[in-house]
Amino acid sequence: MIWRSLGRIIVVPLSLVVATAVAAFVLVTLGLERITHSASGRGDPFDSLGILIELVRGGGILASGLTVIPALAVVVIGEVARIRASLYYIVGGGLALVAIPVLAGSQSAALPEAVVMQVCATAGFAGGWIYWLLAGRRA
């Protein structure tokens, strides 16, 4: 019993760090893809150089500690309630990352709101799935 608890104390934070890194990787990759499409002229008419500025500004918001709170809430609720369903962590991760632009109040004209939500949700889904894969399925 004690060893299991100690194991969870080690596995949960490490899994959260790995899942956060994966979500950040997906977020940056999809953001750079949007910038590349804009630079080559293949993107939507809403795409422009402002996307790069918005990505850098969004990176500053993501680097702050406040963005961890929604994801941490999903993890704590899942661990306390011993939720093992992958759907909970995947959807929870997506909602946690979609909450970031909403909470930050990003009303930029450089990126359409739908694009920001799609990129954030996709990154959150990936992070949630990785967390479930490493720690959530044994909650």
Whether the pLDDT of residue 77 is over 90: the answer is yes
Dihedral sign of CA atoms 50, 103, 63, 12 in order: negative
pLDDT of residue 88: 95
Q: What is the pTM of this model?
A: 0.75
SS3 129: helix
Q: Where are the domains of the chain?
A: 2-138
Higher pLDDT, 43 or 82: 82
Dihedral sign of CA atoms 113, 118, 123, 129 in order: positive
SS3 29: helix
Min mean pLDDT across 5-14, 15-24, 50-59, 129-138 is at 50-59
Higher pLDDT, 67 or 112: 67
Higher pLDDT, 139 or 101: 101
* Residues 26-75: tens digit of each pLDDT: 888 887 777 676 666 655 555 566 666 666 676 666 666 667 788 889 99
% of the chain with per-residue pLDDT over 90: 32
